[in-house]
Amino acid sequence: MSRLVEFRGGVSLTSMKICIVGLGYVGLPLAIQFARCGANVVGLDIDASKVVAINRGESYIKHIAAETIAENLRANKLLASTDFSCIRQADAVIICVPTPLNKNREPDISYILDTGRRIAPHLSKGTLVVLESTTYPGTTDEDLRRVIEENSGLKAGVDFYLAFSPEREDPGNPNSVVATIPKVVGGFTRACLEKAVALYSIAIKQIVPVSSCRVAEATKLLENVFRSVNIALVNELKVIYGAMGIDVWEVINAAKTKPFGFMAFYPGPGLGGHCIPIDPFYLSWKAREYGRNTRFIELAGEINTAMPEYVIRCVADALNQHAKAVKGSRILVVGLAYKPDVDDERESPSYVLMTLLRERGADVEYYDPYVPIIKPTREHSQWAGKESVRWNEAVIASFDLILIATNHSVIDYQELADWAPFIIDTRNAMADTRVAPGQVWKA
Ligand SMILES: NC(=O)c1ccc[n+]([C@@H]2O[C@H](COP(=O)([O-])OP(=O)(O)OC[C@H]3O[C@@H](n4cnc5c(N)ncnc54)[C@H](O)[C@@H]3O)[C@@H](O)[C@H]2O)c1
């Protein structure tokens, strides 16, 4: 008998029911992976439009094919719902809801707590609850545990199992497959850990058990702080080497030939996405409770958030060389998504660049094949409704300056070189193109 069949006192895999709460960039791929492996998955979301889309076999995430959703629906392995009462029959509930910062840049775990309150009344004895949202150490065994216990009358580690397992999704990376990314798991008790390891073993090849929920939470933060600090380092070197006339991209490409002790990180116009600009500050906030400062995190944040201003200075200098001012110039920002080959523009530095340029009087447009129109958001409401320009010679040649903010691989950069009078490249996207002398500046 396999350990899968033993899950929750003899529930076989084909009858195993998993509820995944939050059907976003993390929850949806996870739901599909469990469904593919034979579990019966119900995806729960408060956003009814996502629920309707999934039940129609439609995808709202670029790198997830509608057909993948449809085939799991047809196999009766996947279903979406807004009705939390289906948690009553669940063997496991996995929470993948947002963990943003509030307007004072402090952790906002209200989505986690709200989810805890919603699931608690429907929780049965013996159910496993796993949190996947990135957060500070203590969220699972203090905050989430408290709201579930208060609203269910059940006790963690006694009546229900509780664990934390951070998500390691890398959208847009074709080599990043949920099943093959090792999964760190920490439990509230030893039994909780064992349940969580058994659950993830259904769908993921390698499980990495750790001694507690807090260690698992801290592991995810280490991974993201590591990225933030290393990106800050290469961003700082970009500015220093740039002043010396040395191309930091050439330096990094040479350095990464070292077979040990070096890992390449690349500079950019500023941090973007739902993780790296946000998660490290979850740790900073929690560290203050212990009277500790997180100097690396603060410094990295300072350097990375200064990057858009640096890029704008480069834009102004470049226009100046052409006897133009930022004010009145037509500037096209290429790439609105925060990283290549995704349609996710949350926290994208492109918004900051566009806003800074507009504040200086530029006439700003953007091109992004994956973001045809800017949806309304709280943070960038002034850009809502703006549409991507079309990609053709007449349009591209009509701009005074092109600013490459994101290097989507579907963009034809040689066409850009052939059509655009002048390009500022923050991503080394023009490296392999034929360009006129002085036509491309790196920033
Ligand atoms: N996107 C990534 O690449 C990535 C990678 C690793 C970790 N994470 C972490 O995973 C978590 C989720 O991120 P995401 O990118 O999937 O977010 P997302 O915004 O794409 O999806 C979250 C979903 O949760 C839903 N939701 C919010 N509150 C809810 C509630 N109370 N009940 C049910 N559904 C609710 C939202 O409607 C949304 O569909 C975050 O903590 C994030 O930091 C994200």
Over the stretch 253-266, which tens digit does the pLDDT of each residue have? 999 999 999 999 99
pLDDT at residue 3 is higher than 60? no
Please say if the pLDDT value at position 274 is more than 90. no
Residue whose CA is closest, atom 37 of ligand 1? 47
> Helix, strand, or coil here: 407?
coil
Q: Which atom of ligand 1 is nearest to the CA of 97?
A: 24
| CA 109 to ligand 1 centroid distance, Å | 12
Substitution candidate for ligand 1 out of 19, 20, 23, 25 with most atoms within 8 A of CB: 25
pLDDT tens sequence across 91-134: 999 999 999 999 888 999 999 999 999 999 999 999 999 999 99
Could you tell me the two tokens for 65? 């094919």
Residue showing tokens 């529930």 = 11
pLDDT at 4: 37
Check if the beta carbon of residue 229 is closer than 8 Å to that of residue 262: no
Over range 383-401, report the average pLDDT: 98
pLDDT number for residue 7: 44
Give the rounded distance of the alpha carbon of 161 from its chain centre.
27
pLDDT of residue 419: 98
Query: Looking at per-residue confidence, does 347 or 340 come out higher?
Result: 340
Average pLDDT (349-357) is 97
Residue 145 has pLDDT above 50, yes or no: yes
Looking from the CA of residue 168, the nearest atom of ligand 1 is: 6
Best of 96, 276, 347 to mutate for ligand 1, by most ligand atoms within 8 A of CB? Answer: 96
Task: Check residue 166 and give its pLDDT.
Answer: 98
Query: Is pLDDT above 90 for 8?
Result: no
Among candidate residues 98, 164, 109, the one with its CA nearest the CA of residue 344: 98
Residue 10 pLDDT > 50? no
Average pLDDT for the chain? 94
H/E element, 17: strand 17-21
DSSP 96-140: -----B-TTS-B--HHHHHHHHHHGGGPPTT-EEEE-S---TTII
User: Mean pLDDT throughout 24-41?
Assistant: 95
Closest CA to 280 of 266, 299, 308: 299
- Cβ burial, residue 293 (10 Å; 0-12/13-18/19+): exposed
Give residue 440 CA to ligand 1 midpoint distance, Å. 38
Lowest mean pLDDT among 159-173, 193-207, 300-314, 413-427: 159-173
Residue 167 Cα distances to 96, 179, 341, 354, 412, angstroms: 8, 12, 20, 31, 33
- Pairwise CA distance, residues 313 & 369, whole Å: 27
Mean pLDDT of 204-213: 97
Residue 12's pLDDT band (cuts 50, 70, 90):
low
Asked if pLDDT for residue 382 goes beyond 70, the answer is: yes
pLDDT grade for 174, boundaries at 50, 70 and 90: confident
Q: 215 C-alpha vs ligand 1 centroid, how far in Å?
A: 21
- Residue of 19, 21, 26 best suited for mutating to test ligand 1, as the one with most atoms within 8 Å of CB: 26
Is the confidence at residue 11, as pLDDT, over 70? no
Q: Which atom of ligand 1 is nearest to the CA of 171?
A: 3
d(CA 161, CA 35): 22
Catalytic positions, please?
Answer: 275
Alpha-carbon dihedral of residues 213, 217, 219, 221, nearest 10 degrees? -170
pTM (2 d.p.): 0.92
The helix (H) or strand (E) run that includes residue 201 is helix 190-201
> Using a 6 Å CB cutoff, which residues line ligand 1?
21-27, 44-47, 50, 96-99, 111, 114-115, 118, 133-134, 167, 169, 171, 274-275
Angle at 51 between CA 50 and CA 56, to 5 degrees: 95
- Distance (Å) from CA 156 to ligand 1 centroid: 24
- The pLDDT, as a whole number, for residue 177 is 84
25 Cα to the center of ligand 1, angstroms = 7
User: Which 8-state DSSP code applies to residue 141?
Assistant: I
Res. 9: pLDDT tops 70: no
- Of 14 and 255, which is predicted with more confidence? 255
More confident residue, 235 or 9: 235
Q: Which of 122-126, 248-252, 342-346, 416-420 is predicted least confidently? A: 342-346
- Yes or no: say if 429 and 411 are a contact pair by the CB < 8 Å rule: yes
* Percent of the residues in the chain that have a pLDDT greater than 70, as a whole number: 97
